[in-house]
Amino acid sequence: MKNNIFKGIIAYPITPFEENEKVDIALFKKLLERLVASGAHGIAPLGSTGVLPYLTDEEKEAITEATISQVKGRVPVLVGVSNLTTERTIYHAKFAEKAGADAVMIIPMSYWKLTDNEIVQHYDAVAKQISIPIMAYNNPATGGVDMSPTLLKRLLEIPNVTMIKESTGDVQRMHYLRKELGEDVAFYNGSNPLALAAFAAGATGWCTAAPNLIPELNIGLYNAIQKNDLAEAQKIFYKQMHLLQFIVNKGLPRAIKAGLSILGVDGGYLRNPLKPMSESEVAELKTIISTI
């Protein structure tokens, strides 16, 4: 599989804030170390879980540098660099490459609906400015743009766009990607409740925030798939399914921070306008975690 060093469980760290809403870099490094030590196969800062759109350029740079320095090459690092404008996306992609990232992830963020040609030109412009691989991230629920399988196929004609992260929750798209694009293209599941189905469809990995709470189960699922042990994979998946559904439905940053607190781990504060989950929601999450 060309130009791809990412496989297995790619863990998404949260971005913790102090009570005054300043990014807490020291705490971020501690939380990052938990993920690396858990056995995650890769780290992906500045995704949805890391509240990328709520950060300033300087904060994104600080998170990128903190990740590279803390991980120290133990696992590959995939940095989210998405922005509304192509110019800012290029800026952060170049910064990530210079800092030592192994690849970058881009979701086409938009206020106005982008055409397919505009999206292709956006990715192409970034690709021409960096030499590391790009993961094209399709998540219409957060980015506001749904990239069709046909469009994703066009993006893969750009030389260093070598990976696709599919988060629509449509497993048929995953089957299409594997059938139409062949083994040279790596595609990743970004829809937590579809982890088992995605691996069955041939996903190279699973990009997820769940390792913040249940790394053993996430890694166990991947290991069972690698052994072609479907019965074990199903057993492990269904054990974690309710938690996976819950954290997606309640919003990853809120749910992961609440889950960490339940586990006795400091996850920091949220940044407005995001607010902590209600007491009833926290109680529900605590019940789910206690039954795993």
Which ranges in the chain belong to alpha helices (H)? 25-37, 57-71, 86-99, 116-127, 140-143, 149-155, 171-181, 195-200, 215-226, 230-250, 252-262, 279-290
Cα within 13 Å of Cα(274), Cβ side = 26
If 0-12 CB within 10 Å is exposed, 13-18 middle and 19+ buried, where does residue 106 land?
buried
Is residue 137 part of the annotated active site? The answer reads yes
Beta-sheet strand order (sheet of 161-166): 42-43, 8-11, 205-208, 186-189, 161-166, 134-138, 103-106, 78-80
Rounded-to-integer distance, Cα 93 and Cα 184, Å: 23
Q: Which residue of the set 7, 60, 165, 250 is catalytic? A: 165
Tell me if residue 186 falls in helix, strand or coil: strand
Report the Cα–Cα distance between both ends of the chain, in Å, rounded: 35
Whether 45 contacts 25, CB under 8 Å: no
Is residue 165 part of the annotated active site? The answer reads yes
Q: Which residue of the set 123, 137, 188, 222 is catalytic? A: 137
Peptide bond into 273 cis (omega under 30): yes
Cα-to-chain-centroid distance, residue 240: 18
Tell me if residue 205 falls in helix, strand or coil: strand
Determine how many CB atoms are found less than 10 A away from the CB of residue 53.
14
Q: Which residues are annotated as catalytic?
A: 137, 165
